[in-house]
Amino acid sequence: MVILLLARALPRIEDESSAFSSRKDKMSNIAKHIPFDKLDESMNLTLHKILRRVKVSIMKADNLVTNKLKSFRSDSKKDGNGLPM
């Protein structure tokens, strides 16, 4: 009885493994058609643009902070009437 069950199960196991290999073949065929060079170039370009925009934003924030610090310094040089000492 056990041998009969094993004999019935073996063909199903082989069919599943062949289905897995056919999926693997399909994925490898799809991967062959993807232009990785163009994707890499476009991702680098996009990253470059994003980093430049972040850099500009940081520089604008730095200028804002610098101007605020200058205004605090000039406020501390005035006396209580708002006139320079």
Residue-wise pLDDT tens digits, 55-84 = 999 999 999 999 999 998 887 776 555 555
Question: What is the pLDDT confidence band of residue 11, given thresholds at 50, 70 and 90?
Answer: low
Domain parsing of the chain, residue ranges:
1-34, 35-79
User: What pTM was estimated for this model as a whole?
Assistant: 0.51
Task: Report the amino acid identity of residue 32.
Answer: K
- What pLDDT score does 40 carry? 87
Residue 63 · residue 57 · CB < 8 Å: no
- Contact at 8 Å (CB) between 78 and 84? yes
Measured between alpha carbons, how far is residue 71 from residues 63, 67, 76 in Å?
12, 6, 9
> Please, what's the b/e burial string for 24-57 (b: 16 or more CB within 10 A of its CB; e: otherwise)?
eeeeeeeeeeeeeeeeeeeeeeeeeeeeeeeeee
**Residue 50 — pLDDT band, cuts 50, 70, 90?**
very high
